[in-house]
Amino acid sequence: MKSFNLLSACLLAIAHFSCSSAPEVVRRGPAADWPHYGNDPGSSRYSPLEEVMPANVEHLEIAWTFQTGDISRGDSEWKGQRVRTRSSFQATPLLIDGTLYLVTPINRVVALDPETGRQRWAFDPVIDRIGDYGDGFACRGLASWLNREAQADAPCRRRLYVATQDARLISVDAARGDVCKDFGTAGEVRLDEGIHIVNKGEYHMTSAPAVVGDVVVVGSAINDNGRIEMPAGRVRGYHVRTGKLLWAWDPIVSDANVQTGAANAWGPLSSDPERDLVFIPTTSPSPDFYGGFRPGNNQFANSVVALRASTGQLAWSFQVVHHDLWDYDVASGPSLFNLKRNGADVPALVLATKMGHLFFLHRETGQPLHPVEERPVPQHPVAGEWLSPTQPFPAATGPLAANKLRPEDAFGITPWDRKACRERIASLRNDGIFTPPSLRGSLNYPGNIGGSNWGGVAVDPARGLVLVNQTNLPFEVKLIPRDQAETDRKQNPGYEYGAQRGTPYVMRRRALTSPLDLPCSPPPWGTLAAVDVHTGKIRWQEPLGTVRDLAPVPLPFKWGTPTMGGPIVTASGLTFISATLDNYLRAFDTTSGKELWKGRLPAGSLATPMTYRVREGGRQFIVIAAGGHAKAPSQQGDFLVAFALP
């Protein structure tokens, strides 16, 4: 009997270690919120949490899933009218004081129990769903403000701010989900008052506001390529409690010789409250692909602009594209960090661009911390156009996205496919990056989606690394004389056309793909990279994503995919990112770039994740929105998915 008991004990021990391979998790450390869109005001997207680490990340599993119910597939009705706008669930939630707050594509604000995913309350602003909302229904996040002078149970002590598709800024009580009626008129401010709007929906909001001190700052999303004088891309600051307009800053410099609009800030903002600075990422002026009526560099367009948050006064600006003709918006605010030089902390920021360029600047002056060179770029535009002879290039950091594509570089999975791409590339004007739009048709590489887009970057201060994802997807752009546009449209189905009213040309574009609908550029079509903040050098760069959910059969080829969304980093040495056209959230070793884990999602996720621990001794959760994109070949959904260790 004794030997039997000993054998049984051994078998039980073997079974225990083989079936329970997850290492013991030591839950330690204080609670860690995610109180801002980028975790901190400066959008570092860095978390001090260490429970999930390279040694145990493979054991992450889904802890809970919440469905918002808010999907628009372009085939529904609202108040008796057809809703043609599709939705993109791109939100990054906030975790504040034990509650998880998210916003849906139609601007509903939802409060959840962060450890179970159960709904606590929901607020519906009931947006107008009829209008041309650009790239679809989307809202990436919220902002919040705490009235420290109010009693703990006072109404609206903690406020949430949502900027809606139909151009309202609304203040919501974070505890109850009611509007804060002392803000503006009955809890909201109209953001389109005084804005000249021609087409309903062309002026809207897609990103989170920024709260700096007692000021809530908001930009705007303005549709591309409509006409010369689109709505002004004015940035405004409102009092957090009353909604009173405190200041407005216009990126378009008044000049009788310049006719344009936009240069707006549709992407996420970032700020430095201690220095009273808010950083504004501005876009191209209107229209995107012909600038003959806006000669010159268009000074504050395509720039990162530092404003005094309390007054709106200009502190400094740095332009990354002169006289943009490529839709190379600055799509996200910079990420802030301190750079060590000669033993002292230098206040720094890093800015990623659609061109695959990474700029390191002094936070107080805007001066480059790593060298930037003005280099000659292609000339000879269409008649009536003006071109900058040079463009700024970061000298320390090589291009993170490919910017040259020769006919002999053409990709195809069959000789026939590759031949078609080679001929298409050869037919286009192709002088490298910043090739101007032409009547012949020009190759834009990177294309207008990036490089980097609104996901921005993440900064690991301990390891001195910037994590940044890129898209490598070429586009073809052609200017069509206006009197030929209707015929051209009939002969070329499948292209996107931009009216560019008031100019001599209509714009035509699409991604440069093969007859099998694969990019004509060689893979990887999406990457994740780490860049050393001290030197600007690329430490590693790896393909990001597979064609698993794009191919007719599930092929796991690691060719990368175009990306939308961004990374976060944790103190344990992990980088979490989804952002691809396959349905996965991934974890990479921040130091080496090795992919350590991927978790399957119920839909595509072109969003940025976040992470938190609600209480000391509680679990660390990693949360991601999985809802696809209105214009991307990814599966739509309405899922918020939380992962944690068992």
Q: What distances in angstroms separate CA 588 from CA 364, 368, 592, one per listed residue?
A: 33, 30, 8
Q: Rounded to a whole number, what is the distance in angstroms from the first to the last CA of the chain?
A: 37
Domain regions of the chain by residue span: 32-644
pLDDT at res. 12: 39
Q: What distances in angstroms separate CA 159 from CA 156, 211, 219, 570, one per listed residue?
A: 5, 11, 19, 27
pLDDT at res. 28: 66
pLDDT at res. 257: 84
Is the bond leading into 451 cis (omega within 30 degrees of zero)? Answer: yes
pLDDT at res. 353: 98
Sequence-distant (≥ 6) Cβ neighbours of residue 16 within 8 angstroms: none
For 32-644, CATH gives 2.140.10.10
CB 518 within 8 A of CB 417: yes
Residues with catalytic function: 327
pLDDT at res. 261: 95
At residue 306, what are phi and psi to the nearest 5 degrees?
-100, 120
- Joined together, the tokens standing for residue 188 give 């909201």
pLDDT at res. 26: 61
Q: What distances in angstroms separate CA 90 from CA 63, 209, 352, 543, 635, one per listed residue?
A: 20, 15, 19, 22, 13
pLDDT at res. 629: 87
Q: DSSP 3-state assignment of 444?
A: strand
CB 254 within 8 A of CB 283: no
Which of 173, 165, 88 has its CA nearest to residue 123?
A: 173
Can you tell me which residue has the tokens 């929901």?
Answer: 122
Q: Reading across the β-sheet that carries 358-362, which strands appear in turn?
A: 335-341, 344-352, 358-362
Amino acid at 87: S
pLDDT at res. 29: 74
Beta strand 46-47 with 568-570 is: parallel
The helix/strand count (H/E) of the chain reads as 3, 42
Residues of the chain with pLDDT under 50: 1-20
